[in-house]
Amino acid sequence: MRPAIDGVELAVPAPGRNLPPRAFTSPAVFDAEQRAIFARSWVHVADLVDLPSPGSYVAAKIGRTPVLVLRDRKTGELRAFLNACRHRGAQLLDGKGTCDKQIKCPYHAWSYGHDGALVGVPYREEFDGDIAAMGLVPVRVGTVGPLVFACLDPAAPELAAWVGQLPAALELAGAASWALGYELAYELEANWKLFVENANDGYHIQFVHDLLTDLLAPDSGETTLEAHGAYTVARINPAYVPPERDPGEAKIRFGCIFPNLIPVLSPSDLTYIRVDPVAHDRLRLFVRSYDHPEFANLRELRKLAFERTADQDIAVVERTMRGLHAEGLPPGVHSSRLEERIGHIERLWADAMLREYGPTNKRLLAVAGA
């Protein structure tokens, strides 16, 4: 029998075919994705601007898993841990800020060093057995330009392999030194995959987005599929290119680092949208935009344009979510060129789900001694 979750067969969709609607509406599928996708991927958790000095921390999430990222007070290194106390599991830190030499749990005051070691336990003698090794659970952490990623899976590929050509593109643009221009957040009634797919859908632009249709030179996009993502590079309409710049070089790069980061790099800015999964039918968007110093004067204008475009996307994504609740709706299709990245993302999704829940799950076989 083919593996399935809540009636959703775990199989790579045939070319041009989409995942079934229930893959977007099922709470059981959403739960299964937490382990198969979010716990196995490198996920964006913060930016370097959140961790400016020794002791800075950010509380973040990888899917539903709370993590904390910290700049070690002694060594200045970035570290990440599960944001959960080893005593009874209370979340340790909230929001972002600077923490003392020790991270103290607000519940029973266990405390941990910045290396995660357990350093203080009130009434320690009252605990049976050896609890000395009950330090914070470490999480992998790494950076790409101004972005910080973390990964719960010790067996996942290295971050550099995960993010493909993105570091080279950010490096070439010099984006690591750009200033933070604006930050936005949204909450939507839709499954997280729908927003990621919409952001990788080149087909809707001319029907939904007035400004983007104007900005992009028609039919100029070239798409690259990567092991854990996909991106398209398109030319900017010459009318938007300052006269002193070569219009042939004015390009915009957009796509996805699987599972949930949408970085958009243009000559003027790096803007990303992170799609945080909240429930099967709810997501949050976290948006930040960094700008090239020469274009900082256009910041307000860019923000207005982003907000207008985001409102247009949100409307169609929530509309799609409502439609996908229709019982009896067969799986949809996608165009092999204009929606190529959607097909790729759905293949990555199915591969990850099959690795975890399919009949040849190597982890399960290893446990069974096969």
The residue ranges that bind ligand FES (CB under 6 A) are 85, 87-88, 90, 105, 107-110
- Which is closer to ligand FES, CB of 121 or CB of 353? 121
Structure tokens that stand for 137 in this block:
């659970």
Please state the closest distance from residue 184 (CB atom) to Fe ion, in A.
15
Please state the closest distance from residue 84 (CB atom) to ligand FES, in A.
8
Q: What is the DSSP letter of 359?
A: T
Q: Tokens 């050509």 label which residue? A: 165
- Which is closer to ligand FES, CB of 136 or CB of 314? 136
Element holding 213 (H helix, E strand): helix 210-215
- Which is closer to ligand FES, CB of 18 or CB of 83? 83
Question: Binds 284, which of Fe ion, ligand FES, none (CB < 5 to 8 A, cut-off by type)?
Answer: none
- Which is closer to ligand FES, CB of 89 or CB of 323? 89
Contact 185, 288 (CB under 8 A): no
Question: Binds 325, which of Fe ion, ligand FES, none (CB < 5 to 8 A, cut-off by type)?
Answer: none
Q: Please tell me the count of residues contacting Fe ion according to CB under 5 A.
A: 1
Question: Binds 81, which of Fe ion, ligand FES, none (CB < 5 to 8 A, cut-off by type)?
Answer: none
Question: Binds 105, which of ligand FES, Fe ion, none (CB < 5 to 8 A, cut-off by type)?
Answer: ligand FES
Please state the closest distance from residue 85 (CB atom) to ligand FES, in A.
3
Q: Tokens 């739960």 label which residue? A: 31
Contact set for Fe ion, span 283-342 (CB under 5 A): 313
Distance between CA atoms of residues 232 and 255, nearest Å: 6
Distance between CA atoms of residues 39 and 64, nearest Å: 9
Please state the closest distance from residue 317 (CB atom) to ligand FES, in A.
38
Please state the closest distance from residue 217 (CB atom) to Fe ion, in A.
17
Question: Binds 107, which of Fe ion, ligand FES, none (CB < 5 to 8 A, cut-off by type)?
Answer: ligand FES
Question: Binds 313, which of ligand FES, Fe ion, none (CB < 5 to 8 A, cut-off by type)?
Answer: Fe ion
The residue type of 200 is: N
Q: What are the CB-based long-range contacts (under 8 Å, 24+) for 153-158?
A: 153/39, 153/40, 153/41, 156/40, 156/41, 156/42, 157/227, 157/228
Other beta carbons within 10 angstroms of residue 95's beta carbon come to 7
CA distance between the termini of the chain? 20
Geometric angle at alpha carbon 179, from 48 and 231, rounded to 5°: 75
Question: Binds 140, which of ligand FES, Fe ion, none (CB < 5 to 8 A, cut-off by type)?
Answer: none
Other beta carbons within 10 angstroms of residue 156's beta carbon come to 16
Count of residues in the chain? 370
Please state the closest distance from residue 110 (CB atom) to ligand FES, in A.
4
- Which is closer to Fe ion, CB of 146 or CB of 202? 202
Q: What are phi and psi of 294, to 5 degrees?
A: -65, -20
Please state the closest distance from residue 212 (CB atom) to Fe ion, in A.
7
Q: Tokens 């996009």 label which residue? A: 221
Asked if 197 touches Fe ion (CB under 5 A), the answer is: no
Please state the closest distance from residue 209 (CB atom) to Fe ion, in A.
6
Distance between CA atoms of residues 80 and 196, nearest Å: 26
Question: Binds 127, which of ligand FES, Fe ion, none (CB < 5 to 8 A, cut-off by type)?
Answer: none
- Which is closer to ligand FES, CB of 109 or CB of 227? 109
Distance between CA atoms of residues 279 and 10, nearest Å: 20
Distance between CA atoms of residues 280 and 364, nearest Å: 26
Query: Which chain residues interact with Fe ion by CB under 5 A?
Result: 313
